[in-house]
Amino acid sequence: MYEIKVKMNFSAAHNLNNYHGKCERLHGHNWLVEAIFRYGVLDKAGMAVDFRIAKKMLKCTIDKLDHSYLNDLKLLKKINPTSENIAKFIYDQLKKRSKNVGSVSVWENDNSCATYAEGL
C-alpha cells in the first residue's frame, strides 16, 4: 500500500458550542490540514497520484474554509466546528473527489491534532 500525504494551511475563527472554557469564546487558528491518500498500485510513471492533483483536491475544500468564521458557514451549519468535525468534513469533501482518501488530520496548533478516517 502506498500513502501520499499533502499538507495545506488555512486561517479561520470559531467558537465551540456546548463547551465551557476558553474555547467557547471567539478565537482563531492557523490550521494545518494533512490529507493522506492510499493506493494499492502505481501508474505507468511509477506514481500513486501526482502531488499536484492531490494538492488541488485539498485546496478546493480548504478554500471554502479559509478566512471565515466557521460557525457562520452554511457548509458547517449543522455541526459544532471542533477539530474533529472539521477533519470529518474535509474527509467527506475529499471522498467526493477520490475513493483513495485514507485519513485527514487537522492541527489547530503545533501540539493538538484530530484525525478522521473511516473505520478508526
Point out the residues that are catalytic.
23, 67, 108
**3-state secondary structure string, 40-63?**
CCCCCCCCCCCHHHHHHHHHHHHC
If residue 34 lies in a helix (H) or strand (E), which one and from where to where? strand 27-39
Query: Where is 38: in which H helix or E strand?
Result: strand 27-39
